[in-house]
Structures are given as structure tokens and as C-alpha cells.
């Protein structure tokens, strides 16, 4: 690799860390900088969706580490009564998707963003890289094929700067960061100053962590305690009647009094408050995600409401979608125009995410008298108001399975190829957030299958253990290894010498093969038997005499459905690989 310029990533939040991990897995040099001198300690974004959980596992974060650091999203309890101790309603927030084994993580999990970032940082450190804390991006200019960036240590003299030549610049520096502003990109949308959330990380031993607890009315003034593990909770104050507490200088005593005032639960005492912030609705979208060799990922390109738990999860997929493409272009495998697909694939997804999260936000902040506490202390009136408030909570807090992000797709992308469809078809984009009712298509999430066995072996192997962000995977569904020989040899001789590619032959359960003739297939090809037929079923392939190739991209998306050698060539041609 002749190129020695690093990729400069500005911002070490989830998006920046994921981008750095993917690039390092692809042996690309990286500089990851962050102007903050300390790592995040607050909970901030606390929900990881099933799609994000499986992608984090694919980055090399062990499932047991994720499980140890998180907890299933709890059932919710809404309280009422004069003392706030009466459980008026208990309900489930997150809708179940009723998933089979093709989805390893079936429900969202609650985890503080600071913990998520620690898991990602630890993984990045294993790859030999750490964020450069206390280093800021002063400015940058685009040169002929690279970016010249001016960096400075925070607190250093203005003249004490470093001039860095970077092949690419990835702005993961949030809505207020310098990358988007320096690029001159408009941030289209609106700020709603009246829509606010007060958030604090607190510790208490006075209430069970088995539920997400709520008091008051979400449509006037409400407070919640969301369990984060152990005795840690995220306190959230919401509602159009929320008082304007000072934005600076809040103390544990202030937070405690706010909680008592709304909940009436003076028996719940906070031992500690470790983080306090106030969020105001700023819902915006950058006009572009790419300008030359500069890109925006995560909050640098889109700002949204935290309602719906989509933001951090969307940022992870931004970074993953972009980084594997940069790796191919950096290595000279793909031509630079393939990088245009980052914006064309992600922009429709982000737009729909903003629609979904904004709709939930509007319900949460809509002014209503339902659930307001009556002026009198009549027991029936208080009970009625509490019941109305609980119903309101349930309606507002309901989260459909769509938000699990398993249906996010790029079916309309120019770089995917589905040979099963007519060549002259007009692609119907459909909903970029929803799975297709007529089965899996190129551009959809690649499902897992767990009952695969190597020919001649006995241990089960799952597809997700084969996929990875540093290579494509060609799943060759075939009635026999002999029938797959032509397509496999074409993949091996024409593409594997220079395209990072794993080839896996998948045989049906009915296959009588128990061994593989060493001369039939290249030695680096894995041959698996689909013992229960789930892989064939999930990928919509019939166990017939036909050979079908499903190409899975490094981001876990089906890039191509192919049944011919010409189809293989067409997929890689769309990926700007020199044929």
C-alpha cells in the first residue's frame, strides 16, 4: 500500500470510534482526535437496538461484555396517588418482534453511552489505536486528493499547531463541531426552545431497579427513573410545564428537590448525582454528508430527538457504511466514485429516522390537560387523574419493533445488484426502515443462521461468525460442492487475489456429501451443511439444482443476489472494482 496518509477522524464518540475500528480492522492508518480532555462519564444515549447489538458483536466486542454492561429494557411502572406510591399501570415499552434465530439480539438493551464508548475504546486499543484526547481541529482545506488539517492541543499557544495531511477527514464531532461548519453545509431544520428534557445520572438504593419508574404527567410535567444497572438510574424530567431551572450550578440537592416535587416520593433519597444536562429540541439534517474527501457521520450530519432511541444507533450504522468503502478506495481496490453511495444510501434512512423520532417527540411534548393533578385532594379525582396520566405515559412511551432497525435497507442503492429482478426494472425504494413483505432483497440486512456444520465436522457454526467488516462474504447456495465449482473458481481466481472476500459454500440438509474432494474446490473455501434448512429459508433460496450466490457486504447488508458469472462481475463492477 503506497498511501501513507492517515484517515483523520474528528470526534471520539460512538460514530468516531466505530469508524476507527473498521478502518483499523482493514489495516488503514487512523488519527482519532477529540478536543475534550476527559472521556464521557454521563449516560446520555442509553438504548442499543438489536441491529446495533449485532453490529457491535461483529466489530469484535464479545457478547458477554455487552450483556455484563447492559440490561434488558425494563417494564414501565406509572405511579399515582397522594404519596406517589400507588402503581397505577405497568406496561412494556418496547414492542416484541417475535424473531427467530436469524436475529441473535431480540430486544433493545439499556446501557449508558459512556459504557458503550468504553467498550468501543477497549476494542480500538486492542487494534493498537487510542483517541488523542485534548487535540482539536482548528481548520482544514481540501487539496488535490487529500485534506490538509490544522490541529492544536487544547490550551496550547495559537501558533503551536500541527499541519496534518490526511487522505480523508471524517467529521464525527457532533452538531456543534467545526467539520460541517468549515465545509459550509447548511443544517436544515428547527430548534424548539420550549421542548426540553432535564437529565441527571443518580444513585439510590430506595427503589427497585427492576422497572422503569414514572410519576406525574408526561403531557404537563413528569419525572422518570430509568435503571442503568445496580443502583444507578437516569432521571428524566419532561413536559411542557417543566420549570426553567438554572442551566448552570445545579447540585445534588437541586436534583433531589425536583424529583420530590413531581413524584411526591420523599422516601427515595439520592446518594449521588454524577452528571446533569439539559437537552433542547434541535431537529436538523445536513444538506450533504460528503464534500470531496470530507464526510459527516452521526450527530455531525443529523440532530434529532432522543425519543425513540435512534440517534446513537443511527450513528453506528453511518460509520460502518462509510468506513468499509473508504478502506476499499484507500487500498486502490475500488474507484473513488463508490464513496458517493454513502450519502445516497444513508440520507433516505436518516430522513425516515427523523420522521419517526420527531413523531414520537411530538406526542411526548404535546400539551394536554389529561393527567393534570386536580386542585382538590378528592381521592377519586386524584385516582382519575393518575389513571389518565398512566394511559398517556403508555401511549407516548410505546416503541414499535420498527425502531429495532432490523428493517433498514438500501434496496434503491446503485451499488447493490439483484439478478432475480428484470435488468430494466425501476427500483421501488419503499420504506428504508421496513423489511419487504415479499421476502429478502439485495440491500436488506443479512440474517444469521446458527445450525450450519462444516462437512466432516460436528460443531455448529453461525453465519455471523463468518461475516466481518474487513471482507465481503460470498454465500454460494448449491445442491453439491461439484455444482458450485464454476462460480467458486470464478470468485477465487478473478476477485479474491485483490478483493477481501471469503467464499462459503452452503449445502442443503438433503446433501449426501460427507467429505469434500480437495480437487473440487479451492482449499480456502469453507463448505457448510445447512442441517435444518434455516439458511436456505432465511435467504429465500430453494434447495434445488440451481446455484445461487448471495454476497454479503462488510456492513452486514446483502449486496447482491446472483446466479451467474456475469452477475458476479456486475456486482463488483457496481462497486467500482476494476474488472
pLDDT greater than 70 at residue 106: yes
Q: What is the pLDDT of residues 410-430, one digit of tens each?
A: 999 999 999 987 554 444 557
Among candidate residues 159, 343, 482, 232, the one with its CA nearest the CA of residue 150: 159
Query: Can you tell me the mean pLDDT for 240-267?
Result: 86
d(CA 467, CA 553): 8
User: How much is the CA Rg of the chain, to the nearest whole Å?
Assistant: 26
d(CA 52, CA 58): 10
Helix axes 14-25 and 113-126, enclosed angle (nearest 10): 20
Q: What is the pTM of this model?
A: 0.92
C-alpha cell at position 538? 432465511
pLDDT of res. 391:
63
Distance of CA 330 to the CA centre of its chain: 24
Sign for the pseudo-dihedral over CA of 378, 381, 387, 392? negative
Q: Where are the beta strands (DSSP E) in 114-218?
A: 132-133, 135-142, 147-153, 162-166, 168-171, 187-203, 211-217
Query: Can you tell me the mean pLDDT for 507-516?
Result: 71
pLDDT of res. 246:
59
Q: What is the pLDDT of residues 320-346, one digit of tens each?
A: 999 999 999 999 999 999 999 999 999
- Please work out, in degrees rounded to the nearest 5, the angle formed at the alpha carbon of residue 327 by the alpha carbons of 321 and 330: 135
Q: Which residue has the cell 456543534?
A: 176
Return phi, psi of residue 480, to 5°.
-160, 160
pLDDT of res. 507:
96
d(CA 335, CA 345): 17
Domain 7-71+110-188+282-360: assigned CATH number: 3.50.50.60
Return phi, psi of residue 330, to 5°.
-55, -40
Choice among 53-67, 165-179, 180-194, 197-211 with the minimum mean pLDDT: 180-194
One DSSP character per residue, 201-249 reads EEE-SSS-TTEEEEEEETTTEEEEEEEEETTEEEEEEESTT-----SS-
Number of CB atoms found within 10 A of residue 331's CB: 17
Among candidate residues 496, 494, 502, the one with its CA nearest the CA of residue 470: 502
Taking every pair of Cα atoms in the chain, the longest distance, rounded to a whole number of angstroms, is: 87
pLDDT greater than 60 at residue 257: yes
- Using an 8 Å Cβ cutoff, are 115 and 274 in contact? no
pLDDT of res. 444:
97
How are beta strands 147-153 and 162-166 bridged, if at all?
antiparallel
pLDDT greater than 90 at residue 368: no
Query: Can you tell me the mean pLDDT for 290-295?
Result: 98
Helices (H) and strands (E) in the chain, counts: 12, 28
Among candidate residues 329, 492, 468, the one with its CA nearest the CA of residue 1: 329
Q: Which position has the higher pLDDT, 413 or 395?
A: 413
pLDDT of res. 3:
62
d(CA 76, CA 507): 46
Computed over every residue of the chain, the mean pLDDT equals: 89
d(CA 448, CA 460): 13
The burial of 91, by beta-carbon neighbours within 10 Å (0-12 exposed, 13-18 middle, 19 or more buried), is given as: middle
Query: Can you tell me the mean pLDDT for 46-75?
Result: 94
- Using an 8 Å Cβ cutoff, are 309 and 291 in contact? no
- 374 pLDDT band (50/70/90 cuts)? very low
pLDDT greater than 90 at residue 579: no
d(CA 372, CA 357): 25
Share of the chain above pLDDT 70, in %: 89
pLDDT greater than 60 at residue 377: no
Start and end residues for every CATH 3.40.30.10 domain found in the chain: 417-574
pLDDT greater than 70 at residue 245: no
Query: Can you tell me the mean pLDDT for 209-222?
Result: 90
pLDDT of res. 384:
63
- 218 pLDDT band (50/70/90 cuts)? confident
Q: H-helix or E-strand containing 286?
A: strand 272-286
Number of CB atoms found within 10 A of residue 402's CB: 18
504-537: b or e for each residue (b if 16 or more CB lie within 10 Å)? Answer: bbbbbeebebeebeeebbeeebbbbbbbeebbbb
pLDDT of res. 325:
99
Start and end residues for every CATH 3.50.50.60 domain found in the chain: 7-71+110-188+282-360
417-574 maps to CATH 1.10.287.620: no
Q: What is the pLDDT of residues 539-566, one digit of tens each?
A: 999 988 799 999 999 999 999 999 999 9
Q: Which span out of 54-63, 83-92, 300-309 was modeled with the highest average pLDDT? A: 54-63
pLDDT of res. 390:
59
Among candidate residues 324, 59, 359, 371, the one with its CA nearest the CA of residue 215: 371
pLDDT greater than 60 at residue 397: yes
Amino acid at each position: 500500500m503506497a498511501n501513507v496518509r492517515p484517515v483523520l477522524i474528528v470526534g471520539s464518540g460512538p460514530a468516531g470510534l466505530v469508524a476507527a475500528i473498521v478502518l483499523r480492522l482493514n489495516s488503514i492508518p487512523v488519527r482519532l482526535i477529540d478536543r475534550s480532555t476527559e472521556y464521557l462519564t454521563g449516560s446520555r444515549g442509553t438504548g442499543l437496538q438489536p441491529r446495533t447489538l449485532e453490529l457491535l458483536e461483529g466489530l469484535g466486542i464479545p457478547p458477554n461484555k455487552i450483556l455484563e454492561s447492559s440490561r434488558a429494557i425494563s417494564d414501565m411502572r406509572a405511579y399515582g396517588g397522594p404519596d406517589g406510591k400507588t402503581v397505577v399501570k405497568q406496561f412494556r415499552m418496547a414492542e416484541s418482534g417475535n424473531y427467530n434465530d436469524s436475529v441473535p439480539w431480540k430486544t433493545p438493551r439499556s446501557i449508558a453511552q459512556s459504557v458503550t464508548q468504553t467498550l468501543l475504546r477497549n476494542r480500538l486499543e486492542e487494534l493498537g489505536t487510542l483517541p488523542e484526547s485534548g487535540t482539536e481541529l482548528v481548520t482544514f482545506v481540501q487539496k488535490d486528493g487529500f485534506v490538509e488539517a490544522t490541529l492544536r492541543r487544547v490550551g496550547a499557544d495559537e501558533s503551536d499547531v500541527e499541519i496534518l495531511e490526511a487522505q480523508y477527514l471524517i467529521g464525527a464531532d457532533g452538531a456543534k463541531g467545526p467539520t460541517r461548519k468549515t465545509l459550509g453545509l447548511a443544517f436544515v431544520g428547527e430548534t424548539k426552545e420550549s421542548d426540553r428534557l432535564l437529565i441527571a445520572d443518580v444513585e439510590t438504593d430506595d427503589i427497585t431497579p427492576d422497572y422503569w419508574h414514572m410519576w406525574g404527567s408526561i403531557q404537563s410535567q413528569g419525572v422518570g427513573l430509568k435503571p442503568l444497572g445496580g443502583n444507578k438510574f437516569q432521571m428524566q424530567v419532561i413536559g411542557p410545564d417543566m420549570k426553567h431551572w438554572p442551566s448552570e450550578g445545579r447540585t445534588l440537592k437541586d436534583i433531589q428537590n425536583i424529583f420530590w416535587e413531581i413524584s411526591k416520593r420523599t422516601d427515595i433519597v439520592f446518594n449521588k448525582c454524577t452528571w446533569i444536562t439539559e437537552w433542547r429540541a434541535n431537529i436538523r439534517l445536513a444538506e450533504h454528508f460528503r464534500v470531496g474527501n470530507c464526510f459527516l457521520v452521526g450527530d455531525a450530519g443529523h440532530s434529532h430527538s432522543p425519543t425513540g432511541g435512534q440517534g446513537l444507533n443511527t450513528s453506528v450504522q453511518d460509520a460502518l457504511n462509510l468506513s468499509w468503502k473508504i478502506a476499499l478506495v484507500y487500498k486502490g481496490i475500488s474507484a473513488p466514485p463508490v464513496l458517493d453511495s454513502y450519502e445516497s444510501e444513508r440520507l433516505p434512512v436518516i430522513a425516515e429516522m427523523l420522521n419517526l423520532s420527531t413523531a414520537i417527540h411530538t406526542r411526548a411534548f404535546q400539551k394536554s390537560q389529561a393527567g393534570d393533578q386536580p386542585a382538590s385532594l378528592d381521592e377519586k379525582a386524584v385516582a382519575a387523574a393518575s389513571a389518565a396520566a398512566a394511559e398517556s405515559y403508555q401511549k407516548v412511551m410505546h416503541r414499535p419493533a420498527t425502531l429495532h432497525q432490523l428493517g433498514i435497507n438500501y434496496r434503491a442503492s446503485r451499488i447493490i445488484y439483484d439478478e432475480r429482478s428484470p435488468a430494466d426494472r425501476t427500483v421501488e425504494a419503499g420504506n428504508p426502515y421496513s423489511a419487504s413483505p415479499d421476502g429478502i432483497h439485495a440491500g436488506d440486512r443479512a440474517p444469521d443462521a446458527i445450525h450450519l456444520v462444516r462437512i466432516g465436522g460436528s460443531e455448529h457454526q453461525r453465519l455471523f461468525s463468518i461475516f466481518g467488516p474487513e471482507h465481503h462474504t460470498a454465500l454460494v447456495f448449491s445442491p453439491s460442492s461439484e455444482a458450485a465449482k464454476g462460480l467458486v473458481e470464478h470468485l477465487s481466481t478473478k476477485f479474491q487475489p485483490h478483493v477481501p472476500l471469503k467464499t462459503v459454500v452452503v449445502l442443503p440438509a438433503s446433501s449426501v456429501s460427507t467429505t469434500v474432494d480437495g480437487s473440487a474446490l479451492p482449499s480456502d473455501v469453507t463448505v457448510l451443511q445447512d442441517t435444518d434448512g434455516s439458511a436456505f429459508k432465511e435467504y429465500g433460496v430453494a434447495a434445488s439444482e440451481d446455484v445461487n450466490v448471495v454476497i454479503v457486504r462488510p456492513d452486514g447488508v446483502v449486496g447482491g443476489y446472483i446466479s451467474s458469472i456475469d452477475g458476479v462481475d456486475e456486482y463488483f463492477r457496481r462497486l467500482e472494482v476494476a474488472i
